[in-house]
Structure formats: C-alpha cells, structure tokens
Amino acid sequence: MTTTSTTPAGARGDERTAPPHRRSTTLLALVLPLALMAVPALAALGWRDELPERIANHWGADGPDGFSSFAGAFVPLLVGTGLCVAQWAFAFWRGHDGVTRRGLVATSAGLGALYAVVVTGTLASQRGLADGALAPGGGPTVVLGLAAAVVVAGVAFLLAPADARLPARGPVDADARRVPLSRTQRAAWTRTVGSPSALLPAGAVVAATTVLAAVLDEWMALLVPVGLSVLLAAMLLWRVTVDARGLEARSVLGWPRVRVPVDEVLRADVVDVRPLREFGGWGYRLGRGGRAGLVLRAGEAIQVRRTGSRVLVVTVDDAATAAALLNTLADRRRPRDDRAERGTPRATAG
C-alpha cells in the first residue's frame, strides 16, 4: 500500500481514492511546462525595444504572411498554458490509471517545450528588424521545437511514476459472471481485435504515399508507406488475452501493451462502447468517469474494475467469456479466506 496512502490496510481496494503521485504530476505537468513557457515571455519583455512594430507569427510559401502586435505575441503562450493546465487537471483528478496519467504528464511537458522553443525562436530571429516581413523562415525553429518536445515528453514520461502493485482483498463480487472450472483446470481466452472502420482510410493513406513515391521515382520515399504500415498495424490490430496472469492487450507487433494483473481485478463485466460519445474517439484514451479505454471499434467490450479506482475498457468480441474467465481466475488467486462462497450470492448470504 505504498502508493495510495489513503487506502487503509485491510480495505477491499474498491473504495474511491484520489489518483496517486499527485506531487510529481503537478511538478511535471504544471510547474515544468509553465516554467519553460516563462522563458519566451521574459525574453519578449527584455527584447521589447528591439522587436519590430508588427511581429511575424505565421509563414507561407513566400515568407511571413501573418503578423501580430507585441501583445499578440503572448497569445500562443496563453493557448499553451491553457492546454497544459487542462492536461495537468485531467492527470491530477482523473489520472488513476498509470498509462493515462503518464501520457497526460508527457503531453503537457512536451507542449510546454514546443511552445517555449518555437516562440523564443521566432522572437529571437526578429530582434533588430525594421519589419516582421523581413523575418527569416521559421522551419529550423519548428524542427528544433518538435525535437525538444519529443525529448522533454519522453523524459517526463519516464520520470512520472507508474502504478505500484495494489492487490485486491476480499472476493470478486458473487453476482459477477463466472465460467465453471474445476480446481485442477487451467484456462485461457484469447482473441484478436481490429479497427475495421480505420482500415479504409489507413489503406488509402498507405496507397497514396506508395503512388507518390513511385511517381517521384524516389525509392527512399517508400520508407513512408512502409513505416506507416508498421505503425498502423501496431495501432489497429491487437491480441487480447485472459489467463492466470490476468488481462493483457498487446499490439500484434508486441508493443505497446496494456496489462491488468489478476490480483488487481475487482470484477469484470461486458459493456457496450460508443467511442465518440464515451471516449471522444478511438485509441488508448481517457473516457467519461476517468475510465481508461483501448477503443478500437464501437460495440462489445470487456470492462475491468481494478484496485485504485481504476477502470479499463477493451473493445473485443466475445467479451462475456473473457469477463467470466477473468472473474473466475481472479477469485482463484485471492487469499483463501477472502474467496466468495460459490453459488451463494452475498445479498442472500447476509
């Protein structure tokens, strides 16, 4: 019980708790990006007299095509601050699930780095100019900003602590579905799930980039469709497995993967998922009520309630069997005195 000091020893593990690691979340997702974005703000104030009357803030094919006043140069930083505060708030209040929390923290830190580098760079390149229209192209600055964002986000992800082990106590709810298994039987359930609605656009993009590479006669450009195919396969095709270790969903490439250890399962159920309404889209997402979801399509899904107020939803066919097996195997792993009396629902047992 090292992570959630709010969980008293002896609790079942299904009480509502605050997300863990709030201090590191605040440091990495709020203090760090705001400090990074303070650099261009302070630099702008220091360079006020050297900057042109109208400051270039957007570039077209023929050089700068969008301009702002001095005060307007702060607008992107305000936007960045708003985005970072939103990421932090989700992580602070809804970051029960470790992957979600660390993803939000990394996004916030990366955004802070991106805005800091891009705004500082565009302002620095316009010091001493008579007019913003004379500003050099911003390409290198943007590339540098993106590189900084990736590095800072990666470091923040690694620095943000993952969830510690938090075994459940007490039995799996008696009314949760089960599969009949004898004491000596070992059981596993496994199935692949794809994202059919994403296949068409994904295929179109791969085909288009392949054609483009052929037309341009640039074999190096073929790396784009090849890389895309690998990336799309990783995101769109997953294998979901339930066995004595718990639930695991992994991309057919082997990574990324999502796991729920069997001893952290409180109960598993079947739910019907509407991706846009409940999760705002597809992929590994934070949904309504703080649920983490691996949402590849609409419809049938297994929903696992887990210790530490965590809920994981994975869209997959035959979720009823998966949920029933997970409940059965979770019960098996509970300490003997915690196990539910088989066939005696608790409502009638009391």
Partner 1 sequence: MLWTVDPERDEPLFAQIAAQVRGAVASGELRTGDRLPSARVLATSLEVNLHTVLRAYQDLRDEGLLDLRRGRGAVIAGHADYAALDEPVAALVDAARRAGVPPTAATALVQAAFARATTPEGR
Residues that bind partner 1 (CB under 8 A): 179, 181-182, 184-192, 239, 241, 243-245, 318, 321, 325
Q: How far is the CB of 184 from partner 1 (least distance, A)?
A: 4
Of the two residues 2 and 182, which places its CB atom closer to partner 1 in the complex?
182
CA dihedral 198→199→201→203, nearest 10 degrees, is: 150
Q: How far is the CB of 296 from partner 1 (least distance, A)?
A: 17
Of the two residues 166 and 172, which places its CB atom closer to partner 1 in the complex?
172
Of the two residues 197 and 321, which places its CB atom closer to partner 1 in the complex?
321
Cis peptide upstream of residue 167 (ω within 30 degrees of 0):
no
Q: How far is the CB of 318 from partner 1 (least distance, A)?
A: 7
Of the two residues 117 and 242, which places its CB atom closer to partner 1 in the complex?
242
Of the two residues 77 and 322, which places its CB atom closer to partner 1 in the complex?
322
CA 94 to chain centre: 12
Q: How far is the CB of 302 from partner 1 (least distance, A)?
A: 14
Of the two residues 125 and 241, which places its CB atom closer to partner 1 in the complex?
241
C-alpha–C-alpha distance, residues 91 and 290, integer Å: 10
* 41 contacts 115 by C-beta, under 8 angstroms: no
C-alpha–C-alpha distance, residues 83 and 88, integer Å: 9
* 144 contacts 64 by C-beta, under 8 angstroms: no
Of the two residues 240 and 313, which places its CB atom closer to partner 1 in the complex?
240
Q: How far is the CB of 344 from partner 1 (least distance, A)?
A: 24
Provide the b/e sequence for 275-306 (b: ≥16 CB within 10 Å). Answer: beebbeebebbbbeebbbbbbbbbebbbbbbb
Q: How far is the CB of 111 from partner 1 (least distance, A)?
A: 38
Q: How far is the CB of 249 from partner 1 (least distance, A)?
A: 13
* 89 contacts 19 by C-beta, under 8 angstroms: no
- What interhelical angle do 223-236 and 196-216 show, nearest 10? 170
* 20 contacts 308 by C-beta, under 8 angstroms: yes
C-alpha–C-alpha distance, residues 40 and 121, integer Å: 8
Indicate the helix (H) or strand (E) that contains 52.
Answer: none
